[in-house]
Amino acid sequence: MFQNINESALGENTINKDTYDVKKENKDKRKINLFSDVLSAKYIVIYIVSLMISMVGINGEFAPFGISVMMAGIGNSIPILGIAITGLIGSLIRFGVEGLLDYLLMALVAIVSVFLFRPRYNEEEKNEKIKLSKNVFISTLIVRNS
């Protein structure tokens, strides 16, 4: 008897509620997938290397190599959260609070420079997808000369 009633006849409230629930579930799944991708086993070695490289400095004053690893991660589509956290920890261990603030400021300037100066994209057969070396240079130059 009610077989010919379609969803539009039931009213807007039921359809919107169902689509809202689906969107909410998809959003929750994306959050879980984001953190599971960051904590993936294939990136653990990169995080360890990032921690060790962020402890290497020039003349014991600052460490631009941690920023280089972070930008290389951005250029190769590696989740940046783990690299940034391990870089911050390495800078804090080796250079103290001043080194931590330098690393944080250089990272922020580098990320902002990516948005201001559009990076060039490489061909598919090369390792690096995005060329970001000039952004690392700009951020290091700005932070260390101010």
Q: What is the pLDDT of residue 13?
A: 47
Domain count, the chain: 2
Q: What is the pLDDT of residue 20?
A: 55
Residues contacting residue 114 through CB under 8 Å, at least 6 positions apart? 74, 132, 135
Query: In this structure, is residue 1 part of a structural domain?
Result: no
Q: What is the pLDDT of residue 89?
A: 93
Q: What is the pLDDT of residue 12?
A: 47
Amino acid at position 53, single letter? I
35 and 45 share a domain? no
124 and 57 share a domain? yes
Q: What's the first-to-final CA gap in the chain, in angstroms? A: 78
52 and 84 share a domain? yes
Reading the chain (146 residues) residue by residue, the pLDDT tens digits are 444 444 444 444 444 555 555 566 666 666 666 666 677 788 888 889 999 998 888 777 777 888 888 888 888 778 888 899 999 999 999 888 888 888 899 889 888 888 887 766 666 666 556 777 788 888 888 887 76
30 and 51 share a domain? no
Q: What is the pLDDT of residue 144?
A: 76
65 and 102 share a domain? yes
Query: In this structure, is residue 3 part of a structural domain?
Result: no
Which residue range is the domain that position 74 belongs to? Answer: 41-144
Q: What is the pLDDT of residue 110?
A: 87
Query: In this structure, is residue 120 part of a structural domain?
Result: yes
82 and 64 share a domain? yes
Query: In this structure, is residue 75 part of a structural domain?
Result: yes
